[in-house]
Amino acid sequence: MRLRLEPGMEIDGFTLHEHLSTGGMAQIWSVEREGDPTPLAHGAEPEVRVSDAPLEKGSIGSDPKVESTFGSDALVMKFPMLIDSDDPIPIVCFETEQMIMPRLSGRHVPRFVAAGPLDPQAYIVMERIPGHSLKARLADMPLPWREVVEIGAKVARALHDLHLQHVIHLDVKPSNIMFRETGEAVLIDFGFARHEQLPDLLAEEFREPFGTTPYMAPEQVLEDRADPRSDLFALGVMLYFFVTGERPFGTPKGGQIRRRLWRDPVPPRARNPDCPPWLQEIILRCLEVDPNDRYATAAQLALDLENPDQVTLTERAERLERDSGMKTFRRWLKARKAKTLEVPNIVGQLSRAPIILVAIDLSAGNEDLVEAQRNLIGRIISMEKQARVACVNVLKLSRIAVDVLEDEEGRSLHVQRLVQLKHWGAALDIPKERITYSVLEATDPATALIDYARHNNVDHIVLGARASSALRRYLGSVSSQVVAEASCSVTVVRTPRDRRQAEG
């Protein structure tokens, strides 16, 4: 039985307030429930704005995104579109979203509230994110590249958080990305998503690729829905689109989508000379056909977007033309035999590519400790072939006195520390694109390291324990504070001499 939806109707305690939109896959209503906080007061009507931007082409069942001035506590109810249609895809996508959303948490997804069964009326109730989706920016393309970088870093962090929850979105595009008033990116619409611990209903019931065609990764075209790096490809498409005003692969239909298995896009700088070489390097790396040639994790992508001076430039950065016909032909031959790659699992892929922060004290007298840290990092990266190492030193500032940031000869202490860090890392057997160097200036070194680790999704911190002293026992130490407060694993390195002193 299908209910006729009308304002004022009550469904499982939720009162339908206003029909907001109807798309190919669902219709959206604003709803209220007694006892829930709501911005509606004294009968005031919310201001609702539906974007005038055209629907994105090539989308298989994309929903229109409604933007409003509702507060973060407002709710929306989403109903699957089953009217006059024999197409089973909308209901399968809806069932997928009903399974996945209750398992998600955090600031990067809408808060799940409730879901209803197919009979008499399927629905999902969720938090309504105030403001605009990125679809509202389509009319402004191309965007300034600095804004593109900021957007990309926020979306990459949201994707990393989603991947840590065992979910691949598989439909990353502007209309599925919103932002909280506090700035965090929010991913919406999980109809095409895959949760590795739940049945993949789309893969079980259909034998075709699913996604929005301009943004689909090559492995999605081959019906592989198991690789989190597919979301990085889609983000690369979005970054390309935002910086050039054109989609790298156009809006292909049918068999045309297979062309991305062998045809590279026009380099971004050929379409927008203002695009920096390092940003083109990042975008084209995201758009590599082979997932192994892309970033290993969304966290590593975010780290590069926020540290452009440390992006290792390859021939990608200098391209101004597409590859030659012969090179494209060889890729076409390879694509004819292309098969999906085996990815053990989502979290398994992330664990193979950790971000390791090594906090290095460059003060005189710590040479043995610094060497011990280097030996440990060397052993770690020999086992973790995709690990990213972030070498960090903290230039401690005074809380009261005027800080002296130059030596007696007028040379910058910050620059000198950076040079020393790079000298420390030069002895490691690791590709340049997998190691970065940062000097943090802070009054509280421990807090600076903890904040850096949290912001950059660091998986493991390695720091040294300085020699014991009465003052340190009284005031505490950087290592003890980091161990106590960091949200990731922490290894404290000691030299044999330090261990003997501690035992004594």
Q: What is the pLDDT of residue 454?
A: 93
Q: Look up the CATH number of domain 354-503.
A: 3.40.50.620
Q: How far apart are CA 462 and CA 136, in angstroms?
A: 43
Residue 333, number of CB atoms within 10 A of its CB: 9
Q: What is the pLDDT of residue 344?
A: 59
Residue 422: closest CA among 406, 439, 405, 409: 439
Q: How far apart are CA 199 and CA 96, in angstroms?
A: 9
Pick out the chain residues at pLDDT < 70.
Answer: 1-2, 37-73, 82-86, 332, 335, 337-344, 399-408, 410, 466-476, 496-504
Q: What is the pLDDT of residue 86?
A: 62
Q: What is the pLDDT of residue 118?
A: 80
Distances, alpha carbon 7 to alpha carbons 14, 73, 202, 398, 458, in Å: 11, 20, 33, 62, 48
Burial class (CB in 10 A: 0-12, 13-18, 19+), 234: buried
Class of domain 10-336: mainly alpha
pLDDT tens-digit readout, 178-198? 999 999 999 999 999 999 999
Residues of the chain with CATH 1.10.510.10: 10-336
Which phi and psi (to 5°) does residue 284 adopt?
Answer: -70, -30
Q: Please give the order of strands across the beta sheet that includes 14-22.
A: 10-11, 14-22, 26-33, 75-80, 123-127, 112-116
Residues of the chain with CATH 3.40.50.620: 354-503
Amino acid letter, 228: P
395 neighbors 417 (Cβ within 8 angstroms): yes
Take residue 454 and report the two structure tokens written for it.
């949290």
Letter string b/e over residues 106-115, b meaning 16 or more CB atoms within 10 A of that residue's CB: eebbbbbbbb
What is the distance of C-alpha 338 from the center of its chain? 27
Strand, coil or helix: what is 443?
coil
Take residue 359 and report the two structure tokens written for it.
């906090």
Q: What is the pLDDT of residue 74?
A: 86
Residue 381, number of CB atoms within 10 A of its CB: 21
Dump strand ranges (E) for 302-387: 355-359
76 neighbors 48 (Cβ within 8 angstroms): no
Residue 47 is given by DSSP the state P
Q: What is the pLDDT of residue 72?
A: 37
Which phi and psi (to 5°) does residue 243 adopt?
Answer: -90, -20
Q: What is the total residue count of the chain?
A: 504
Distances, alpha carbon 128 to alpha carbons 53, 68, 111, 440, in Å: 20, 9, 8, 38
pTM, entire model: 0.84
DSSP assignment of 412-427 equals BHHHHHHHHHHHHHHT
| Long-range pairs for 480-483: beta carbons < 8 A, 24 or more residues apart | 481/446, 481/447, 481/450, 482/359, 482/446, 482/449, 482/450
Q: What is the pLDDT of residue 70?
A: 37
